[in-house]
Amino acid sequence: KNEVEQSPQNLTAQEGEFITINCSYSVGISALHWLQQHPGGGIVSLFMLSSGKKKHGRLIATINIQEKHSSLHITASHPRDSAVYICAGRNTDKLIFGTGTRLQVFP
């Protein structure tokens, strides 16, 4: 069993749909990161969370420390949101990565 698990593995959506990606972790972490990786390979850091909720544009990330669970929401999804979304737990200055969720948004 992975220490950081994501669901779903693959997700397809129509433009405009509300999207949720879930992340559960079984190890102690000081923060949880949400990352976005486009087909070109580069990675962009979307959020770093240690509690509560953060919002940036159409993206919202939440974390429940007691339940060891985090969610990434995308409102009004757009084809340019198509990417792999990765959650990662920060443990003693190292990241423990989930397996990623491949999102495709169709026009």
Considering the rule CB under 8 A, would residue 44 count as an interface residue with another protein? yes
Find tokens 């999804």 and name the residue: 77
Closest to another protein by CB, 41 or 107? 41
Instruction: By CB under 8 A, name the one of 23, 86, 87, 105 that touches another protein.
Output: 86
Strand 10-14 and strand 101-106: pairing? parallel
Nearest CA-CA partner of 10 in 87, 78, 100: 100
Among 20, 71, 91, 99, binds another protein (CB under 8 A): 99
Could you tell me the smallest distance in angstroms from the CB atom of residue 80 to another protein? 18
Kindly determine how many residues on this chain lie close enough to bind another protein according to the rule CB under 8 A.
18
What distance in Å separates the CA atoms of residue 37 and residue 39, rounded to the nearest whole number? 7
* Helix (H) / strand (E) containing 8: none
Q: Which residues bind another protein (CB under 8 A)?
A: 33, 35, 40-45, 47-48, 86, 93-95, 97-100
